[in-house]
Structure 1
Amino acid sequence: MNVSLVLTVIGDDRPGLVEQLATAISRHHGNWLESSMSNLSGKFAGIVCVSVAEEHLTALEAALAALPGLRVSAEVSRPPAAPAATRRLKLSLVGHDRIGIVREVSQVLARHAINVEDLSTYTASAPMSAGILFHATAELTAAPTLDVRQLTGDLEHLSNDLMVDITLDEAIRA
């Protein structure tokens, strides 16, 4: 039987890291399913989901742990019994960068029992000013009974306080 193995990977960025990781996975009969990888402040950081037969799991974990220049953490993931019905939402925000934006937005999301499925953030120079803008996009899931107007209002309240533009759209995912 196959199991899903979720990996977190970090090391000093250099050419060949992804190849090194992919080779170790395929040599130990793992199937690379999905991933997200980035260079963050000179560090290669990634998450990878691999499918592997249980009889190859221990050897794969040992091979990953032995990769030079990479720290790999591996966690077996078992799918939940039956996922509950959810609404998928997409959140985008842009605002002047400052400490606390993610904390405040995530507090509102948590109060509404919203799960963050994917979050991407970056900073960039503001056009026509010397300021820095913070950008974030998130894919979210929530109960079908979520009051989107209330959530939007709570986020807009933050927007007024933080000078953050927030758009919330129902996202259709096939």
Structure 2
Amino acid sequence: MNTQLTITIAGQDHPQLINQLAAKTHELGGKWLISKIHRLDNQIVGIIKVDIPNETAAQLKLAFSKLTDLNPRIIDVPLPIPLDKLKPLTLKVESSDRPGIVNDITNILDDIGVDIVNIENHRVGVPDLGQTLFFAELMVNVPSEVNVEQLLEAVQQVEDGMRVNVVE
């Protein structure tokens, strides 16, 4: 039987680091399911989802934890909610920007029971209008009992003039 781990890493980069992590995972019978790793100015940050046999998971945790320059955090992945009880959606948000807008959007989604899978946002200054615009795209899992139209209306209440649409 296997278990899944989510491992976040951040710290000093060095040659062959990613290869060493992958090799140790492979040596212990595990495999990387998903990974996103970025390098910047001799630093590395990333997240890795690993599937590994139960009997070697503790060894992998110990091996990653011994990397003093890396600062790993390892979390056992909880059992997922059955997919038939979730609707995956992508939401596109456009609004005037203001401090706290991401916090307010995520709080509303959390209150409704929506899980955020991915969020990407950016801001664009528009000098002719004298303001900054906020854009976000969120991949979410919505419980099947939640009405999507009501969800969109709830998020739109965050800011006057906010537009929230489902991306098809």
Residues 80 and 125 of structure 1, relative CA distance in 2, 3 Å threshold: closer
How large is the Cα RMSD of the aligned pairs?
A: 3.1
Shift of 1:140: 1.2
Contact 1:159 1:166 in 2 (8 A): no
- Equivalent-residue separation in structure 1 for 2:124 and 2:8 (angstroms): 30
Q: Deviations over 1:66-91 (max 9, x none)?
A: 22521112222342485561222211
Q: Which residue of 1 aligns with 2:34?
A: 34
Residues 110 and 75 of structure 1, relative CA distance in 2, 3 Å threshold: closer
Shift of 1:131: 6.2
- Equivalent-residue separation in structure 2 for 1:43 and 1:134 (angstroms): 29
- Equivalent-residue separation in structure 2 for 1:85 and 1:45 (angstroms): 33
2:164 aligns with one of 163, 166, 174: 166
Q: Unaligned regions of 5+ residues in structure 1, if any?
A: none
Query: Counterpart of 2:72 in 1: which secondary structure?
Result: strand
Shift of 1:32: 0.7
Query: Counterpart of 1:24 in 2: which secondary structure?
Result: helix
- Equivalent-residue separation in structure 1 for 2:78 and 2:60 (angstroms): 17
Q: Which residue of 2 aligns with 1:106?
A: 106
Say how many residue pairs are matched. Answer: 167
Q: Unaligned regions of 5+ residues in structure 2, if any?
A: none
Shift of 1:104: 0.9
Query: Counterpart of 1:88 in 2: which secondary structure?
Result: strand
- Equivalent-residue separation in structure 2 for 1:14 and 1:135 (angstroms): 35
- Equivalent-residue separation in structure 1 for 2:40 and 2:112 (angstroms): 31
Are 1:148 and 2:153 matched, yes or no? no
- Equivalent-residue separation in structure 2 for 1:145 and 1:13 (angstroms): 45
- Equivalent-residue separation in structure 2 for 1:144 and 1:81 (angstroms): 11
- Equivalent-residue separation in structure 2 for 1:16 and 1:166 (angstroms): 43
TM-score (norm 2): 0.77
Query: Counterpart of 1:107 in 2: which secondary structure?
Result: helix
Residues 82 and 143 of structure 1, relative CA distance in 2, 3 Å threshold: closer
| Residue identity in the other structure for 2:10 | I
Percent pairwise identity: 23
Q: Which residue of 2 aligns with 1:21?
A: 21
| Residue identity in the other structure for 1:167 | N
Q: Which residue of 1 aligns with 2:67?
A: 67
Shift of 1:36: 2.7
Q: Which residue of 1 aligns with 2:85?
A: 85
